[in-house]
Structure 1
Amino acid sequence: MADDILPGDTQAQGEAGPQLRILTQYIKDLSFENPNVPRTLGPLEHQPAIGVRVDVNVQRFSETDFEITLAIGVDAKTNEEQMFLVELQYSGLFRLTNIPADSLEPVLLIECPRQIFPFARRIIADATRDGGFPPLLIDPIDFVTLFQQRRGDLSGAPEGTMPN
Structure 2
Amino acid sequence: MTEENKQAANAQGHGPKMAFQKIYIKDVSFEAPNAPRVFQEQGQPNIKLNLNQKVDKLDDNTYEVTLTATVTCEVNEKTAYLAEVAQAGIFSMENFEEQALHQTLGIYCPNVLFPYVRQEISNLITAGGFQPLLLQPVNFEQMYQQQMQQAQQQAASETKQ
Q: TM-score range by the shorter chain?
A: 0.7 to 0.9
Q: Distance in 2 between matches of 1:125 and 1:36?
A: 19
Q: Which residue of 1 aligns with 2:29?
A: 31
Q: Distance in 2 between matches of 1:148 and 1:132?
A: 37
Report the residue type matching 1:19 in the other structure: K
Among all aligned residue pairs of Structure 1 and Structure 2, give the percentage whose two residues are the same amino acid: 33
SS at match of 1:26: strand
Deviation (angstroms), 1:14: 5.8
Q: Could you list the per-position Cα deviations for residues 102-149 of structure 1 after superposition, in whole angstroms to 9, with x for gaps in the alignment?
A: 211110010001011101110000000000012211111110111112
**Contiguous gaps of at least 5 residues in structure 1:** 1-9, 159-164
Q: Which residue of 2 aligns with 1:17?
A: 15
SS at match of 2:124: helix
Q: Which residue of 1 aligns with 2:129?
A: 132
Q: Which residue of 2 aligns with 1:68?
A: 65
Q: Which residue of 2 aligns with 1:49?
A: 46
**Contiguous gaps of at least 5 residues in structure 2:** 1-8, 157-161
Alignment of 1:82-101 (within 5 A): 82-101=79-98
Report the residue type matching 1:36 in the other structure: N
Instruction: Compute the RMSD of aligned alpha carbons.
Output: 2.0
- Normalised by the length of structure 2, the TM-score is 0.84
Report the residue type matching 1:53 in the other structure: N
Q: Which residue of 1 aligns with 2:105?
A: 108
SS at match of 1:47: coil
Greater share of helix: 2
Q: Distance in 1 between matches of 2:108 and 2:81?
A: 30
Q: Distance in 1 between matches of 2:112 and 2:45?
A: 29
Q: Distance in 1 between matches of 2:66 and 2:27?
A: 10
- Normalised by the length of structure 1, the TM-score is 0.82
